[in-house]
Amino acid sequence: MRYRSKTLTTWLAVLGGALGLHRFYLRGPRDPWGWLYWPLTLAGLAGVQRMRAFGQDDRIAWLLIPLLGLAISAAMLSAIVHGLTPDETWDARHNPGRPGRRTGWLPVLGVITALLIGATVLMGTIAFAGQRFFEWRLQPAPAAAGRRGPIPETVRTAPGRHSTRAQRPAPTPGSSGSRPRRCCRPRPSAPSPRCASSRRRRSRR
């Protein structure tokens, strides 16, 4: 039975944890949890490729990319757990019956690196998923956007009250809905009282 190093396990989780290399190192190639990293990582990489090919509006990429962030975050968490395990507990769990070895500062450096990478990736994943979710909720429905109808217009009817009515589209010149303007002719003014009395006298004569 070979010796399993805590330092090597920690750095395998940091560098290749998204592919389950630290799990395969500790428990062999038949470990099911190690193979679980593969579909998450490959799906996330496929989402990155789709976004590069189809742009940022590809909704399938919105669902796939966070899987890559979750796989990397889980690997960094494993690196932190392995690196902070005491040497005696590590040897009793993974190297029973063998003399203990001191690991030094290399696992601690791996823990610090995993903490920086894991926090950055996890925060980026949450921000990306939240932004895409709210963008999807704020997008108008296709059926409502394709309807054509009168635009409601708010008209003030009384102080503090509003009524909504349909705004009629402006008629284009030459269309059937446009009405010709009527020419307003000046009306003849009424005759003055003097003119009326003179006409009466003439008619009597």
CA 5 – CA 103 distance, rounded (Å): 8
The three state secondary structure string of 51-71 is HHHHCCCCHHHHHHHHHHHHH
pTM of the model as a whole = 0.64
Task: Give the rounded percent of residues in the chain with a pLDDT score beyond 90.
Answer: 48
Mapping DSSP to helix (H, G, I), strand (E, B) and coil, where does residue 134 land?
A: helix
DSSP assignment of 168-198? PPPPPTTSTT--PPPP-PPPPPPPPHHHHHH
Mapping DSSP to helix (H, G, I), strand (E, B) and coil, where does residue 154 land?
A: strand
pLDDT in tens, 39-66: 999 999 999 999 999 988 888 998 999 9
Q: What share of the chain is helix, strand, coil (3-state, %, to 5)?
A: 60, 5, 30
CB 3 within 8 A of CB 95: yes
